Amino acid sequence: MVFHTLTRLAVAACAGILVAGAAGSAFAENGWELSHPRRDQVNDRLENQSRRINQEHREGELGRRQAHYLHREDHHIRQEERRIAARDGGHITRYDRWRLNRQENHVSRQIGR
């Protein structure tokens, strides 16, 4: 009886460790994201805004023309981020990130007006 209970506890503990490990690795960042945190933050935000634009368009809150315009604005921000990074050896400075975030804020405020 005691052995059976201990076995169940051991199996449950192992299962919990496996689940926690799998969940933790799902949120782990890759090497590029770890070595370029500012670019990763800017790009993650651009992806989120693109998702929001698409959702608002599907829900009818944004027209096709306005959604296209907002996607184009995001595309220009991404191009600028890449140009800045190419100039600075693959990285962007805090000031560059701040400027790009201000541009993203402008687009973000236009989504779902």
- pLDDT per residue as tens digits for the range 24-37: 444 557 886 787 88
Decide if pLDDT at 22 tops 60: no
Predicted TM-score (pTM) above 0.75:
no
* pLDDT score of 47: 94
Q: Quote the CA–CA distance of 3 and 95 in Å, as a whole number.
A: 62
11's tokens: 């199996």
What are the residue ranges spanned by the domains of the chain? Answer: 1-31, 36-110
35's tokens: 């070595």
